[in-house]
Copies of this chain bind each other. A is one copy, B any other.
Amino acid sequence: MVQKNSKPPSAAKPLAAKAPAAPKRRGRPRAYEPDVALGKALDLFRRDGFAATSLDDLSAATGMNRPSLYGAFGDKRALYIKSYQRYRDEARAAMVDIFGAEAPLRQRLERIYKIALDIYLSGDSGPRGCFTVMTAASEAVSDPDIRAMVLEGLVGLDKAFAFCFRVAKERGELPGDADATALAHLASATIHTIAIRARARVPRKDLEAIVKGAMDVMCAAAAPPK
């Protein structure tokens, strides 16, 4: 029941850093690091989904006993939501720089998909896929709050890609009549398809081939076939 792997989560609260070192809390010190515990919970939820992940599993994985879990995160649903928020924050953080970068379109796409593959294929017990896709496909999507988060994640990705393609058009990397929105949806669809295939244990090499083919088509308008 002791937390191993207490790697500092790199940035618990990057902004408005109150209490940077030791806030000197009053009672018994907690035996867990909320951030790493949430990470473990996220890992479990990603692997097994909401319903198939029990509090016992979560307790074992986080090193927290059930009452501590409950006190720290609330009930299972709340923990799931917090896990999902953390996932989105991390994924967004990993991609936001690239989406806003100055590099040419093709290069940005390559970087985005590389990160996506890294995220989807990591995991000790098999590839983990995309949590947004997992959640959308699970029964959790019947929960309006969770569904709203899924929708937000989906359109957020669409918008980021659309921004990319719009910038590329302005730079002349794509012809003026290219449909940035349609290309963005295709780019998102490629994200989704590799997330799904990763879960089915399609090897990375194959996924990379799919990504490459998709990029070729999406960037094709840049170099008209004739």
A residues neighboring B (CB under 8 Å): 47-52, 125-126, 129, 133-134, 136-139, 141-142, 147, 150-151, 154, 175, 177, 179, 181-183, 185-186, 188-190, 192-193, 196-197, 199-202, 210, 212-214, 216-218, 220-221, 224-226
Contacts and interface: CB of A to CB of B under 8 A. Distances in A.
Given A183-B217, A216-B179, A199 B136 contact: yes
B48 A141 contact: no
Nearest to A135: B137
10 smallest A-B Cβ distances: which pairs? A182-B213, A137-B137, A189-B193, A51-B52, A51-B51, A189-B189, A48-B139, A52-B139, A136-B199, A134-B137
Nearest to A213: B182
A24 B136 CA distance: 46
Q: Report copies per complex.
A: 2
A180 to B, nearest CB: 10
B196 A210 contact: no
Contact of A217 (B136, B141, B186): B186
Contact of A200 (B48, B136, B193, B216): B136
Contacts of A48: 51, 139, 142
